[in-house]
Amino acid sequence: MPVQVLCDLRKQFGSVRDQDQRPTCLAFAASDAHASLRPPWAPLSVEYAFYHAQRRAGRSPHVGATLPAMLDALREDGQPVEAGWPYLAVIPADWKPCPNVGTLYRRSGQKGGSTLGEIIDRLDEDKAVLVLLTLSSSFDVATPSNYVVDQRPGEQSNPARRHAVIAVGHGLSDGKKVVLVRNSWGEFWGLEGHAWLTEAYLTPRVFRLGVLTEDPDVQSNPAAA
């Protein structure tokens, strides 16, 4: 279905990345939203953000992060660029940052509600939105030719499948409100890592939103582990 695009922030971002099989979707979403506020585009360390979010929440690296812990990590611990601590395919036994990850960039943020209207309002302010939602099978099969994800008759969300994406645009498709999301499943999902989610799909599935502020970055000295 063709989409009438009303807002599109993709130009603020670089290429979509791939979280592979690790539960790091929120770390990817928060890191890329943070990087989008620091032009020109330079990916920030997902590993560093995820490590500190899990440390703050007392959670295992084998489960997903929480939004409060991730926002605290970005604000208090910051992130180096990706080269400071590159993303790991496998968690080592001594999982921790190296002593010299480089300059850290901090960013404050805030939790939001869970409505489509709030997503659209923030996008119209040129602010990408962290979207935490539950998934169902329609989301899995987004392709370059099937890039509008809609609610199928009888389709139920799976509350155990929690995921995080970035809302980067909105528009209309066949008269329906749609939101463009940036995923972290690589460039072969949807349209180079993006897809449009309809209001019918999003509304029963979104459970929390987050926005990073436009505050200037606070740079610290190079970090020590």
pLDDT on residue 224 = 39
Domain residues of the chain, as ranges? 4-212
**Superfamily of domain covering 4-212:** Cysteine proteinases (3.90.70.10)
CA 190 to chain centre: 16
The CA distance from 119 to 182, in Å, is 14
Residue 109 sits at the vertex; the CA angle it makes with 103 and 110, to the nearest 5 degrees, is 165
Angle, to 10 degrees, between the axis of helix 46-57 and the axis of helix 25-36? Answer: 120
pLDDT on residue 221: 44
Q: Are the C-beta atoms of residues 45 and 82 closer than 8 Å to each other?
A: yes
pLDDT at 49: 98
Indicate whether this model's pTM tops 0.85: yes
Residue 129 burial (10 A CB sphere; 0-12, 13-18, 19+): buried
Task: Give 51's contacts (C-beta < 8 A, 6+ positions apart).
Answer: 61, 85, 95, 96, 97
Residues of the chain short of pLDDT 70, as ranges, are 215-225
